[in-house]
Amino acid sequence: MERPHLRPRFLILVPAPLDEVRDTLAARLEAAQDRFVFRVRSQAVLAWIKPPAQRFWSPSLDTLLRPHPRGTLIVGRMGPQLSLMSGYFFVTFGLVFLTVLSLVWTGVQWTLGESPHCVLGSVLGIVGIVGVWASSRVGVWLARDQMAWLAELVEGLGEIQQDEAAILAELPPSVPEGGADDATIVHG
């Protein structure tokens, strides 16, 4: 990774059966259990930073394991905790709404010949949106060491795939087998 990303995604093609890949990931997590809290499911492996080292910006690792004609495909994402992402979404949505509302009211004031005082609200809203963006960049920078910990879990398992569309097109069509544990990709 050349620079930290907010939610880096990756595809790794491992020339081994799904059960073997899942067991390898589980063994790596067991060996590093002083750093991680994790869950291993039939087709998913989830890992979070353990509470003593966990910070506001600590990332998580979500991987889906898919059978592939050439082995197992790991579809993964590292990113902030869901509660942090949800908070950012709602704060940004609120700031955008208030900024647009302030701009509209400024237009009304200007049309009526009054002094457009509400333009200050628009400026503050834009500054707030830029502040939210900047804080997310700072958070990614602060979490870079923990993202490296998570990256070590999947390093060396297989070949990282650059052409996501081509590798996903090779997957055979599948149907859900039922149960919350068996998330599958459905082509249709």
Mind listing the pLDDT tens digit for each residue in 87-139? Answer: 889 999 999 999 999 999 999 999 999 988 888 999 999 999 999 999 988 88
| Interacting residues of 3 by C-beta distance below 8 A, sequence separation 6+ | none
Is 116 found in the same domain as 59?
no
Contact 60, 81 (CB under 8 A): yes
What span, in angstroms and rounded, lies between the C-alpha atoms of 175 and 183?
A: 10
pLDDT single digits (tens) 75-91: 888 888 777 888 889 99
Domain span including residue 96: 84-138
Asked if residue 177 is part of any domain, the answer here is: no
pLDDT reported for residue 19: 92
* Residue 111 tokens, joined: 């049309």
Give percent of the chain with pLDDT exceeding 70: 82
Is 92 found in the same domain as 153?
no
Burial of 79 (C-beta count, 10 Å sphere; 0-12/13-18/19+) = buried
Q: Which helix (H) or strand (E) holds 125?
A: helix 119-142
Is 123 found in the same domain as 62?
no
Contact 182, 43 (CB under 8 A): yes
Is 157 found in the same domain as 75?
yes
Is 75 found in the same domain as 16?
yes
Is 97 found in the same domain as 76?
no
* Residue 86 tokens, joined: 């949800």
Strands (E), 41-87: 44-49, 59-68, 71-80
Asked if residue 176 is part of any domain, the answer here is: no
Domain count, the chain: 2
Asked if residue 62 is part of any domain, the answer here is: yes
Asked if residue 174 is part of any domain, the answer here is: no
Per-residue pLDDT band for 179 (boundaries 50, 70, 90) equals very low
pLDDT reported for residue 6: 57
Is 131 found in the same domain as 113?
yes
CATH code: domain of residue 28: 3.30.310.80
What span, in angstroms and rounded, lies between the C-alpha atoms of 13 and 184?
A: 17
Asked if residue 178 is part of any domain, the answer here is: no
Per-residue pLDDT band for 165 (boundaries 50, 70, 90) equals low
* Residue 178 tokens, joined: 């039922």
Is 34 found in the same domain as 108?
no
Is 120 found in the same domain as 60?
no
Is 155 found in the same domain as 63?
yes
